């Protein structure tokens, strides 16, 4: 990812420029000045890439330009690391002046610095071309910034699908029973907030959709609203009102109403109804708190269900109503995959010749229903022979990125990464350095993050404490999964990185 590569290299340039050794020699200081100018340009390009990612999907031309940016960032990172090594090495050998005395005896040192200077000049030239190409690239994309990214992606975002039957909802029996029980009006007449949380593609919206379809008739007012990251409070209120009016077969025109007027109208209507409101895909606790202000407690057994990827948001639920949706167990994952891959076969039995390949594909899906359903559906259209399936398995990563029927899987999963704060992005991507299914010890990972320069000083906190906070935040956002805790013996925890988008 170019944006992450740019973040990493600009951070490393900052470390290089800030080094005390830079004050000892004019030649080194000049190199640091060049690196600072390059860093400024890279920061602007990174801001441009961020804008592209938030506004609209990219086309082929823009993707090519982004690839060139990524390669340039890697080249610059290599130069910065070489610079730090050379200058730091000579600083350790004695004073700068004593090192200068040895220059005549060691022309290789001058050549190394010269190489770095030449490399910086080449980087600067390439950067100039990239900035020039950015202008016509942006023009070629057309009205790239005129459309909203989330609205463009709406067909791929989580939502309720009434085509999911009860017997197709594999592996969710416990959670479905818990969710259904929480909607029982006899349990509590007060307004109850129920939260389902877990990583993207885990099946939160699908589960809620199934329960919504079966239980909605018990409520006078039933509303489903997809919130998303780019929500606007007035839009949410307007959409809820439209749904309520449409159920009563009335037209609602609230385009000219202010946010306050919409909220007052909504409060007035909900005061007399037993309602069930689904807030799908809520990203922040603040967003939920703002929406909840208008959802009055009628003491009639009303319910609010939220789906989220964030533990912090899920913590807004009432006691006992916070439901964690976990990846499917191996047996359930295989059952779901076979239902989609062999829809016309009796009992959805996988042929023996395809069993090994099928199990390998299911294992790579890591219990993620979104991936299992999408890949199984694609394979149901292919010839049922080991050659065809083996080829698909070998090209699975490429298929996820290039197959139009699978791209939505990556897009949904990428949203979790897209909306990470910048400091967390580098820390998360670093986890990809470890082999798949490798257990990552908390303390070791924190030390590596600090050594790489990913952690910034915050107040009087140590870098290790800041890194600990980053780690906990990634867990709360369902980006990392805690697979073992050992608080009794060592006080440490072990984490395993979740594969989110097949990188």
Q: Is residue 453 part of a domain?
A: yes
pLDDT digits (tens, 9 = 90+) for 444-493: 889 988 888 788 888 888 999 999 988 888 888 878 877 666 543 334 44
**Would the pLDDT of 394 be above 70?**
yes
- Which of 275, 291, 324 finishes a domain? 324
Greater pLDDT, 489 or 41: 41
Domains: count for the chain: 4
Beta strand 192-197 pairing with 303-308:
parallel
**Would the pLDDT of 235 be above 70?**
yes
pLDDT value for 226? 85
Q: Is residue 63 part of a domain?
A: yes
**Would the pLDDT of 76 be above 50?**
yes
Q: Are residues 236 and 355 in the same domain?
A: no
Average pLDDT over residues 363-372: 85
CATH number at residue 457: 1.10.10
Average pLDDT over residues 166-182: 82
**Would the pLDDT of 140 be above 80?**
no
Q: Are residues 204 and 127 in the same domain?
A: no
Average pLDDT over residues 86-92: 61
CA quadruple 260, 266, 269, 271: dihedral sign: negative
pLDDT value for 367? 86
Interatomic CA distance for residues 73 and 384, integer angstroms:
44
Share of the chain above pLDDT 70, in %: 75
Interatomic CA distance for residues 456 and 11, integer angstroms:
10
Average pLDDT over residues 204-224: 86
Residue found by looking up tokens 């050794």 in the block: 21
Reported as a pLDDT band with limits 50, 70 and 90, residue 499 is very low
Greater pLDDT, 7 or 381: 381
Greater pLDDT, 392 or 146: 392
Please give the C-alpha separations between residue 346 and each of 71, 241, 351, 384, in angstroms, as whole numbers. 51, 46, 11, 15
pLDDT value for 137? 52
Say if residues 169 and 207 touch (Cβ distance below 8 Å): yes
Distance, C-alpha 435 to centroid of its chain: 20
Q: Is residue 502 part of a domain?
A: no
Among 55-64, 182-191, 305-314, the minimum mean pLDDT is found in 55-64
Among 12-26, 74-88, 99-113, 220-234, the minimum mean pLDDT is found in 99-113
Q: Is residue 159 part of a domain?
A: yes
Reported as a pLDDT band with limits 50, 70 and 90, residue 403 is low
CATH number at residue 302: 3.40.50.300
**Would the pLDDT of 320 be above 60?**
yes
Q: Are residues 303 and 164 in the same domain?
A: yes
Q: Are residues 161 and 265 in the same domain?
A: yes
**Would the pLDDT of 107 be above 50?**
no
Q: Which residue range is the domain that position 120 belongs to? A: 2-146
Average pLDDT over residues 375-400: 84
pLDDT value for 129? 83
Torsion of Cα atoms, 258 then 263 then 265 then 268, to 10°: -160
Q: Is residue 226 part of a domain?
A: yes
Q: What is the pTM of this model?
A: 0.66
Greater pLDDT, 468 or 96: 468
Q: How confident is the prediction for the chain on average, in pLDDT?
A: 76
Say if residues 326 and 368 touch (Cβ distance below 8 Å): no
């Amino acid at each position: 990812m170019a944006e992450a590569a740019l973040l990493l290299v600009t951070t490393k340039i900052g470390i290089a420029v800030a080094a005390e050794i830079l004050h000892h020699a004019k030649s080194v200081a000049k190199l640091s000045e060049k690196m600072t100018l390059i860093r400024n340009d890279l920061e602007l390009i990174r801001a441009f890439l961020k804008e592209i990612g938030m506004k609209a999907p990219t086309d082929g031309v823009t993707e090519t330009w982004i690839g060139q940016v990524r390669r340039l960032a890697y080249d610059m990172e290599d130069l910065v690391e070489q610079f730090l090594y050379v200058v730091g090495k000579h600083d350790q050998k004695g004073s700068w002046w004593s090192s200068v005395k040895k220059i005549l005896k060691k022309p290789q040192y001058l050549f190394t610095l010269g190489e770095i200077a030449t490399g910086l000049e080449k980087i600067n030239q390439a950067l100039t071309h990239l900035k020039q190409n950015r202008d016509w690239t942006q023009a070629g994309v057309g009205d790239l910034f005129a459309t909203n990214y989330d609205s463009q992606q709406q067909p791929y975002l989580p939502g309720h699908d009434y085509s999911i039957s009860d017997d197709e909802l594999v592996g969710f029996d416990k959670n479905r029973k818990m969710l259904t029980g929480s909607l029982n009006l006899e349990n509590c007449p007060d307004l109850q907030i129920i939260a389902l949380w877990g990583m993207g593609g885990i099946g939160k919206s699908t589960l809620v959709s199934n329960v919504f379809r079966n239980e909605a008739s018990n409520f006078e007012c039933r509303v489903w609203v997809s919130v998303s990251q780019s929500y606007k409070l007035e839009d949410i209120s307007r959409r809820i009102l439209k749904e309520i009016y449409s159920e009563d077969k009335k037209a609602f025109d609230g385009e000219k109403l202010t946010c306050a007027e919409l909220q007052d109208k909504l409060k007035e209507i909900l005061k007399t109804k037993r309602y069930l409101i689904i807030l799908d895909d809520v990203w922040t606790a603040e967003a939920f708190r703002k929406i909840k202000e208008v959802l009055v407690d009628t003491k009639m057994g009303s319910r609010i269900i939220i789906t989220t990827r964030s533990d912090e948001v899920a913590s807004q639920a009432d006691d006992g109503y916070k439901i964690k949706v976990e990846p499917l167990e191996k047996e359930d994952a295989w059952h779901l995959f076979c239902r989609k891959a062999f829809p016309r076969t009796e009992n959805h039995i996988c042929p023996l010749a395809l069993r090994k390949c099928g199990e390998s594909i299911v294992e790579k899906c890591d219990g993620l229903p979104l991936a299992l359903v999408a890949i199984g559906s694609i394979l149901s259209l292919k010839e049922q022979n080991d050659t065809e399936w083996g080829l698909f398995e070998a090209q699975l990563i490429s298929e996820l990125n290039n197959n139009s029927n699978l791209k939505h899987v990556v897009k949904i999963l990428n949203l979790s990464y897209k909306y990470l704060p910048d400091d967390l992005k580098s820390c998360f991507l670093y986890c990809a350095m470890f082999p798949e299914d490798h257990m990552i010890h908390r303390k070791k990972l924190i030390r590596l993050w600090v050594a790489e320069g990913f952690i910034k000083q915050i107040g009087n906190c140590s870098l290790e404490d800041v890194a600990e906070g980053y780690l906990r935040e990634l867990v709360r956002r369902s980006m990392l999964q805690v697979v073992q805790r050992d608080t009794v013996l060592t006080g440490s925890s072990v984490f395993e990185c979740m594969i989110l988008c097949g990188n």
